[in-house]
Amino acid sequence: MHPTSRKFTWSNEEAATRIDYIWISDGLTSGLQKAEIEEVEEITESDHKIIIAEIWIKHITARSSKAEVKRKKQSRTLYLYDQAKLEDWENYAYELQKRLEVKETLKSIQEKEHDKMRGIYKINSIWDIIEEAIITAASKHIPKKKIYNTVTNRRCNQKARQQEKNIVKLQRLIKYAKTKKGQEVTKEEGNEVNEKLKILGKKEGANLPKLQRHWSEAWIEDMKGWRKLLQEKKKREWEQVQRKQIEENIDKRCEMIKTDQGRMIASLLNRPYKKIILDRFIEQEGEETILITELETVKAGIAEHYKKQFRKRNTKLKKMLEDWRKRMGRSTERA
């Protein structure tokens, strides 16, 4: 995307390297719109730059209705890191360490491989083990929920993403201003920067100060203050969403006391709740065994099976009682 430019993600006074990467599959490549290396030392306090990639995924995500998406099981797992407690992170770290030790992954990393092809295979195997360990540990100890790939769910965080973009744009402007500090502002620069500030201010509902004749220290500090205010605004809105979610959950729990006490007790006692999905069955016709997977046939076949299984039985209780009396009588005579 940038054949004529060359940037690095980490550098010091002696060396520079592209140590950070974003890997994408062939299916995502056609949706790649933008790829950049961003300086965010003011935000992250790290000597590494951030790689940003904008990928459109509408060509591979679900466009179907919510019911059809659920039926096809087109979903992804969303980890709720903000809800994880210190205990969850400690359990996650312990689980991850234990799994890596069982596979002797750390020991394998330190061992040198002289053959190039075997070395590549070894590295890929180690990454597979690490990936599996991270996902397994996170699934056991980090709060999560299942999200279906519907249009509504893909758009729900659009506002939060836009706020993040605006903060990053402001940070870029501050970074550029630092390189120009003390210099005179050209007419083209002034018009371009003030137009960006006007658009950002309109999106965030803020009256950002215009750039005057010089790239002054006072203006840069003022912009840093605005960046901090936007970050605090984003945090407050996030907290409001969290409070609203908590209130809704409390209302649901109160409603369960009236209408669904069994489910409420199961939730309080943390009882496991698992579903069994019957989506196939085996049918025996003479010596031939057939696997049935067609949805309507499976429904009818399973219904017929349970109808026979739980049919009313002709137990003949009177006859059974007479037989038992005879047996008991014989046992008594022998004794």
Each residue's pLDDT tens digit, 114-159: 777 877 888 888 888 888 889 999 999 999 888 776 655 555 556 6
Looking at residue 270, what is its pLDDT? 65
Looking at residue 82, what is its pLDDT? 81
pTM reported for the whole predicted model: 0.41
Question: Closest Cα to residue 208, out of 216, 193, 167, 200?
Answer: 200
- pLDDT greater than 70 at residue 329: no
| Annotated domain spans of the chain | 1-60, 158-239, 278-310
Confidence bin at 48 (pLDDT 50/70/90):
confident
Could you tell me which residues come within 8 angstroms of residue 143 by beta carbon, excluding any fewer than 6 positions away? 79, 80, 83, 84, 88
Can you tell me the distance from the alpha carbon of 152 to that of 62, in angstroms, rounded to the nearest whole number?
11
Contact between 92 and 142 under an 8 Å Cβ cutoff? The reply is yes
Looking at residue 335, what is its pLDDT? 44
Looking at residue 327, what is its pLDDT? 66
Contact between 192 and 216 under an 8 Å Cβ cutoff? The reply is no
Looking at residue 34, what is its pLDDT? 83
Amino acid at 204: E
* Of the candidate ranges 73-77, 210-214, 279-283, the one whose mean pLDDT is the lowest: 73-77
Looking at residue 273, what is its pLDDT? 59
Each residue's pLDDT tens digit, 4-17: 777 888 888 788 88
- pLDDT greater than 60 at residue 63: no
- pLDDT greater than 60 at residue 62: no
Looking at residue 73, what is its pLDDT? 67
SS3 labels along the chain: CCCCCCCCCEECCCCEECCCCCCCCHHHHCCEEEEEEECCHHHHCCCECEEEEEECCCCCCCCCCHHHHHHCCCEEEEECHHHCCHHHHHHHHHHHHHHHHHCCHHHHHHCCCCCHHHHHHHHHHHHHHHHHHHHHHHHHHCCEEEEECCHHHHHCCHHHHHHHHHHHHHHHHHHHHHHCCCCECCHHHHHHHHHHHHHHHHHHCCCCCCCCCECCHHHHHHHHHHHHHHHHHHHHHHHHHHHHHHHHHHHHHHHHHHHCHHHHHHHHCCCCCCCCCCCCEEEEECCEEEEECCHHHHHHHHHHHHHHHCCCCCCCHHHHHHHHHHHHHHHHHHC
Average pLDDT over the chain reads 79
Helices 86-102 and 116-141 sit at what angle, rounded to 10 degrees?
A: 150
**How many Cβ atoms from other residues are within 10 Å of residue 146's Cβ?**
10
132's tokens = 């599996």
Question: Closest Cα to residue 210, out of 189, 194, 225?
Answer: 194
Each residue's pLDDT tens digit, 219-249: 888 888 888 888 888 888 888 888 888 888 7
Once rounded to an integer, what is the mean pLDDT over residues 62-67? 60
Each residue's pLDDT tens digit, 165-187: 888 888 888 888 888 888 898 88
Each residue's pLDDT tens digit, 250-309: 887 777 777 777 766 766 676 665 667 788 888 888 778 888 888 888 888 888 888 888
* Of the candidate ranges 55-64, 82-91, 291-300, the one whose mean pLDDT is the lowest: 55-64
Could you tell me which residues come within 8 angstroms of residue 151 by beta carbon, excluding any fewer than 6 positions away? 63
Looking at residue 318, what is its pLDDT? 64
166's tokens = 């605006």
Amino acid at 155: R
Looking at residue 171, what is its pLDDT? 84
Looking at residue 332, what is its pLDDT? 46
Determine how β-strand 16-17 pairs with β-strand 10-11.
Answer: antiparallel
